[in-house]
Amino acid sequence: MDSALAGERRFNFRYFPENYMWSQGMMLAIEMARWGGSAISEVDRVGRRLKDRLGDNDAWGAEWEAEARRVEQMGDDAVAGKRYLTAGAHYLRAAVYYFCGERFVPLGAKKLELYKNCLRCFRLGIRWRYPGIERVEVPYEGGAPERGAGDPESRGCDRKGAHQPAVSNSGALVPARGSHPAGGSPASPSAGTLPAWFMKARGVPGRAPAVCFFDGLDAAKELSILFGGVELANRGIHTLAIDGPGQGEALRLQNIPSRHDYEVPAAAAYDYVASRADVDPGRVAVMAFSMGGYYAPRATAFEKRFAACVAWGAHFDYHANWVKRRKQFESGGTRVSAPHYQLPWVLGVADMDAAMRKLEKYTLAGVAERIECPTLVMHGERDTLSPVETAHQLYNAVGSKVKTLKIFTAEEGGAEHCQTDNRLLGANYVADWLAETLKATPPQL
């Protein structure tokens, strides 16, 4: 048992009080129910089977996979009966369950299989439940080296990315490209692209604002297009949910690791949305959550075409944050969001020592001051992974004269990391702020 967790006062619901990482994984699934991505009874069915195997990540993956397969079969049965809307609902839940299982499974073939199953079911689910979501591939050319952490010459981007192989904690390469799981879809992500979903706001005449939405350390666009995109679309804003370097499909199927100069992939995302006839290029924002609380501010510090920035869960010195998280691993604690291999894998390095060295560039010191566009810093008062002081530090450093600091309290809810205890609160606050900042026109339905 994590003694720190066992001894502290509970301000937020934790499914497994003795294991923060697993509880956060359960909350990820529970909160997706708001957008049709889960059913609480099904999530609890998995949780009850895991209670006697706490901390066994292989068991975690196996039980989530079993539930995902059961629900996917319900979708297949509904298709056979030509009940397509029902089938879509089942497939969406199966997609989320496959991803939940994949999160803590060790690197290797099973992890890759689970994510491909997630993609397959997600494609089938949105076909009938969210037909306004389209698959897009954002041009992103490889080869450019990363720039220095605060390089003043980085203003504007060369729009190139650095492709490196992902590695396991043993140093072995993780299996990369393979046939795409969804029927009727491209066989694999195109070389020189970043995979994304685009949700168009319906009922909006002419060109509308758009948001480029990046993930964090251990999530994927299949979830963010729902918990972020739906609320934005309701307010007349298009959403590009994109797996950037070190994220989701870009990491798993293309072996593109993270990079500290995230203005490069962010500029690629901007170029894509600005090229669309339905997007107003003067009203494009960038948003990212969790680890993305570093990515989005970094991007807007150097890519000046963005009209607004949202740090959904703040970071300032990500290396310093991981010094503390590493101590959690080494002491046997569970107040972390992912297993020990996640960070080296995301960064494309062989081990934790190399990861820590690479993270030294992931700082907003001398960078946040360069941000000029309206900026929202949103955080939970009792964030377990990134203390609330970090949000104040980032807010104070942001150079924009138009900036907002939103701290969700334990009393109102949404006080945990990126509002995992009530994500709908965060999603609505972000969407309202962006609608006002980007002067969005409500849909005329």
Q: 407-424: per-residue pLDDT in tens?
A: 999 999 999 999 999 999
Structure token digits, residue 91 = 């497939």
Give the sign of the dihedral formed by CA 356, CA 359, CA 361, CA 362: negative
Instruction: Read off the pLDDT band of 141 (50, 70, 90).
Output: confident
Confidence of residue 20 (pLDDT cuts 50, 70, 90): very high
Boundary (domain end) residue, out of 131, 154, 170: 131
Tokens of 166: 């992902």
Helix (H) / strand (E) containing 99: helix 84-103
Total domains in the fold of the chain: 2
For 111-130, the DSSP string reads: HHHHHHHHHHHHHHHHHHH-
| Two tokens, residue 337 | 């969001």
- Axis-axis angle for helices 84-103, 20-31 (nearest 10): 170
**Cβ atoms of 32 and 42 closer than 8 Å:** no
- In sequence order, the β-bridge partners of residue 211 are 239, 285
* Least confidently predicted of 49-58, 141-150, 315-324, 342-351: 141-150
Determine the Cα–Cα distance for residues 439 and 445; give it in Å rounded to an integer.
Answer: 18
Secondary structure (DSSP) of 230-288: HHHHTTT-EEEEE--TTSHHHHHTT-----S-THHHHHHHHHHHHTSTTEEEEEEEEEE
Whole-angstrom distance, CA of residue 400 vs CA of residue 335: 33
Identify whether residues 120 and 168 lie together within a single domain: no
Say how far apart CA 111 and CA 90 lie, in whole Å: 22
- 181 and 209 assigned to the same domain: yes
Same domain, 11 and 154: no
AA identity, residue 244: G
Cβ neighbours for 198, distance < 8 A, ≥ 6 positions apart: 133, 134, 135, 136, 238, 239, 240, 241, 273
- The rounded distance, in Å, linking the Cα atoms of 285 and 287 is 7
Last residue of a domain, one of 103, 131, 159: 131
Where does a domain end: 131, 159, 175?
A: 131
pLDDT tens for 253-298 read 999 999 999 999 999 999 999 999 999 999 999 999 999 999 999 9
Query: Would you say how long the chain is, in residues?
Result: 445
Dump pLDDT digits (tens) for 92-133.
999 999 999 999 999 999 999 999 999 999 999 999 999 999
Check whether residue 277 and residue 422 sit in a common domain.
yes
Same domain, 98 and 209: no
For 36-91, write each residue's pLDDT tens digit: 999 999 999 999 999 999 999 999 999 999 999 999 999 999 999 999 999 999 99
Assign 96 to helix, strand or coil: helix
Q: How far is CA 239 from the centre of its chain?
A: 14
Written as one string, the DSSP assignment of 136-203 is EEEE-EE-PPPPPTT-GGGSS---EE-----B-TTSPBPP-----SSTTS-SSPPTTEEEEEEEPPTT
Q: Which domain holds residue 238?
A: 133-445
Q: Are residues 122 and 139 in the same domain?
A: no
